[in-house]
A and B are shown apart, each in its own frame.
Chain A
Amino acid sequence: MSTGQLIGNGIAAFLTLCIFSFLYKDNPFYKFAERLVAGVATGYFTMLLFWTNFIPKVWEPLYERHEIIYIIPTILGIIMWTRFSKKWAWVSRYSIAFYIGIGSGVAVTLALYTYLFKQLQATIAFPISMDVAGINQLLVVVAVLASLIYFFFSTPHKGAFGVASKLGIYVIMIGFGAGFGLTVMGRIALLVNRVIFLKGYLIALFGG
């Protein structure tokens, strides 16, 4: 490591330890790191927005290519600044309305496609048979039906319906447990990575 890298990594190692210190309890070091990165991250992402979005999407079309149409979104954007005023803050609703209108319009078809159609098709595409795959498919179908029944809002969960919805919540909980177990792996890996970083830095610092 060069001296520059040693200093850079020194800062990184210090910040790493600041965050780890939180495990013991809240302390000034953690608070310092927390507040530092709140500023750094905001600065970082604002600049990213500025260079990769503002310049190519607002500045260049308007100022260099004179595409008049971009005046509309620019005004919608500037309208958001009325939020700084108590009296005019309501005007920002126009931009928010546009934003939410676009979002929910896209969501209707997208949700039906990715969540409903795709999942439905995947559930019914495979035949039930007497081999392992076929029996698994049967179990999946039964489990999907039971879990769907658990999410019924307008029917009391009683009688046969109650039994099915109970089976449903059991399936969901086993599924969640499995998901939890699988996740543990990735999280340990992250810690391993940090420990390797600290170890590497110490070796570089004191010569291993």
Chain B
Amino acid sequence: MDRVKFLIPTFILFIIAISCVPAAAADIVADSAIAILPPNVSDVIVSDKPNDPGGTLVVEWILPDSAALAAMPIKGVNIYLSGNHDGPFELITSLPKSALHYECSDLQDGESYYFKVTATANGLESDGITSAAGIPSGQWFNTERLPILIVVILFSITAITFIIKARGGYDFYVRPIAGIKAVDEAIGRATEMGRPILYVPGLGSAADVATIAAFTILARVAKKVVEYNTRVIVPNYDPVVMAICQEVVKEAYASAGKPELYDPKDVYFITQDQFPYTAAVNGVMLREKPATNFYMGMFYAESLVLAETGFVSGSIQIAGTDQLVQIPFFVSVCDFVLMGEELYAASAYLSREPQQLGTLKAQDLGKVTVVILIIIGVILSTIGMSGFANWFNVG
């Protein structure tokens, strides 16, 4: 340590010398000064990581100024950790000099920790600067997410208000959506042709909203199927989805007073692998020759394989998905397509319950707000005030 103390004034002298020496000579001086330790970093600050579950501290430091770096370009920093200010310190990481902060996790909440940051160069290491004590803790509110909380609350209030209003008998206008109107017609067609209906609930899990919307449409289809005495085939990819689809179809038969006609073998599981599943559904289409195919839920690359095969087998096809990449394929091959939000709206349309339609109104109000925010936001960005846009950049 003594040697180091001695070296610091030497180093300062060295810096002064350097600034006097013409640039061309600097290299020679640097070579001869190889025994000098690298300059220290400064301002080592430890703070609790904000908005985290706890156990993490953030260490920040400032590299030596450019004059010192010109004398001895440092390679990086070493970070040491200890429970005591005076050590012993344990090396926890080495970082390149571009890193100006480090997050140290897996610490104990409420304990004090000290960090020492040293600079390294040419295999040498500065004596380092030790920080003040840092105490990690977990937070009870993530302030970065405040904007989302505000939106969740406002949106919930709006939605609930409209739902209550609708229960009170307020009548909402909803514009017609072709794909939804087509659902009933397509079922009628199947009846006329005496052929079954194929309902594919996609590859989503039961917790995906698109799949949940698919259940609602299936409920409608199943109800009509019972009414017209046709048959609906539901091949499944996910067993939980299958369980719910069975429940939905069974309920349709039960509420029509014909529980004995329900055949659980019509709502069945194929396999949980995308293309083997697709291959099997293709097989169903060509062998059962359904009059109408529904594709509702989440679809990926198999969308076009299914829709083309369905076309070849001469079925009317109605698709609905929120998977943007696949919508173009459904649009070009199917007769009707519910795009994105329309799929979710379908459940409200088909149930015809006013309280379901209430949330549609809330969604529209949300869109009006978005339109206004976009207009304001773009104007503000254009006149150079980017703070507004950053408000939406939540963590």
Q: Do A's and B's CB atoms come within 8 Å in the complex? A: yes
Binary contact track B360-395/A, C-beta < 8 Å → 1, others 0: 110110010011011101101111101011101110
Interface positions, chain A 98-125, Cβ under 8 Å from B, are 99-100, 102-104, 106-109, 111-113, 116-118, 120-121, 123-125
A63 interface contact, C-beta 8 A? no
Contact between B246 and A38 (Cβ–Cβ < 8 Å)?
no
Using Cβ atoms and an 8 Å threshold, which residues of chain B touch A93? 247
Q: In angstroms, how far is the closest chain A Cβ from the Cβ of B286?
A: 4
* Cα separation A35 to B271 with both chains bound (whole Å): 10
Contact between B175 and A153 (Cβ–Cβ < 8 Å)?
yes
- Say whether, besides A31-B283, A34-B283, A109-B152, A124 and B373 are in contact (CB < 8 Å): yes
Using Cβ atoms and an 8 Å threshold, which residues of chain B touch A123? 374, 377-378
Binds B, one of A2-10, A54-62, A154-162: A154-162
- Say whether, besides A26-B286, A37-B279, A124 and B377 are in contact (CB < 8 Å): yes
Which of B152, B270, B280, B392 neighbours the largest number of chain A CB atoms within 10 Å of its CB? B392
Contact between B209 and A96 (Cβ–Cβ < 8 Å)?
no
Contact between A180 and B329 (Cβ–Cβ < 8 Å)?
yes
Our pick among B175, B247, B328 for the contact of A176 (Cβ within 8 Å) is B328
Contact between A121 and B389 (Cβ–Cβ < 8 Å)?
yes
A128 interface contact, C-beta 8 A? yes
Contact between A113 and B377 (Cβ–Cβ < 8 Å)?
no
* Cα separation A52 to B389 with both chains bound (whole Å): 43
Using Cβ atoms and an 8 Å threshold, which residues of chain A touch B279? 19, 30, 33-34, 37-38
B17 interface contact, C-beta 8 A? no
Q: In angstroms, how far is the closest chain A Cβ from the Cβ of B229?
A: 23
Interface size range on A against B: 35 or more
Contact between B381 and A124 (Cβ–Cβ < 8 Å)?
yes
B206 interface contact, C-beta 8 A? yes
Residues of B within 8 A of A (CB-CB), count:
71
Our pick among A44, A118, A120 for the contact of B374 (Cβ within 8 Å) is A120
* Cα separation A30 to B207 with both chains bound (whole Å): 33
Contact between A92 and B276 (Cβ–Cβ < 8 Å)?
no
Contact between A38 and B207 (Cβ–Cβ < 8 Å)?
no
Using Cβ atoms and an 8 Å threshold, which residues of chain B touch A45? 271-273
Using Cβ atoms and an 8 Å threshold, which residues of chain B touch A154? 172-175, 360-361, 364
Our pick among A34, A124, A179 for the contact of B389 (Cβ within 8 Å) is A124
Which of B279, B364, B377, B384 neighbours the largest number of chain A CB atoms within 10 Å of its CB? B279
Contact between A145 and B371 (Cβ–Cβ < 8 Å)?
yes
Interface positions, chain A 177-201, Cβ under 8 Å from B, are 177, 179-180, 183
Q: In angstroms, how far is the closest chain A Cβ from the Cβ of B179?
A: 13
Contact between A100 and B207 (Cβ–Cβ < 8 Å)?
yes
B244 interface contact, C-beta 8 A? yes
Closest to A107 in B: B209
A148 interface contact, C-beta 8 A? yes
Contact between B208 and A126 (Cβ–Cβ < 8 Å)?
no
Contact between A176 and B327 (Cβ–Cβ < 8 Å)?
yes
B325 interface contact, C-beta 8 A? yes
Closest to B272 in A: A45
Interface positions, chain B 261-287, Cβ under 8 Å from A, are 270-273, 275-277, 279-280, 282-283, 286-287
Q: In angstroms, how far is the closest chain A Cβ from the Cβ of B242?
A: 9
A22 interface contact, C-beta 8 A? yes
Closest to A137 in B: B378
Q: In angstroms, how far is the closest chain B Cβ from the Cβ of A70?
A: 19
Interface positions, chain B 181-228, Cβ under 8 Å from A, are 205-209, 212
Contact between A103 and B273 (Cβ–Cβ < 8 Å)?
no
Closest to A150 in B: B339
Closest to A121 in B: B392
Using Cβ atoms and an 8 Å threshold, which residues of chain B touch A117? 147-148, 151, 392-394
Using Cβ atoms and an 8 Å threshold, which residues of chain B touch A121? 389-390, 392-393
B34 interface contact, C-beta 8 A? no
Using Cβ atoms and an 8 Å threshold, which residues of chain B touch A148? 367, 370-371
* Cα separation A149 to B173 with both chains bound (whole Å): 16
B332 interface contact, C-beta 8 A? yes
Which of A123, A124, A129, A141 neighbours the largest number of chain B CB atoms within 10 Å of its CB? A124
Contact between B271 and A38 (Cβ–Cβ < 8 Å)?
yes
Interface positions, chain B 152-169, Cβ under 8 Å from A, are 152, 155
Closest to B341 in A: A151
A66 interface contact, C-beta 8 A? no
Using Cβ atoms and an 8 Å threshold, which residues of chain B touch A103? 205-208
Contact between A38 and B328 (Cβ–Cβ < 8 Å)?
no
Our pick among B172, B273, B371 for the contact of A41 (Cβ within 8 Å) is B273
Closest to B332 in A: A180
Our pick among A44, A104, A107 for the contact of B273 (Cβ within 8 Å) is A44
Binary contact track B329-373/A, C-beta < 8 Å → 1, others 0: 101100000011110010000000000000011011001001101
18 residue pairs of the A-B complex, CB under 8 angstroms, read A22-B282, A26-B283, A34-B280, A37-B273, A38-B279, A42-B273, A96-B243, A103-B206, A103-B207, A109-B148, A112-B148, A124-B381, A127-B378, A128-B381, A154-B172, A154-B174, A179-B324, A179-B325
User: 5 closest pairs, A vs B, by CB?
Assistant: A103-B207, A124-B377, A41-B273, A121-B392, A176-B328
For the A-B complex with A108-B152, A154-B364, A183-B325 known, give 13 more contacts whose Cβ atoms are closer than 8 Å: A34-B280, A41-B272, A45-B271, A96-B240, A117-B151, A120-B374, A124-B377, A124-B389, A145-B371, A153-B174, A153-B175, A156-B173, A172-B339
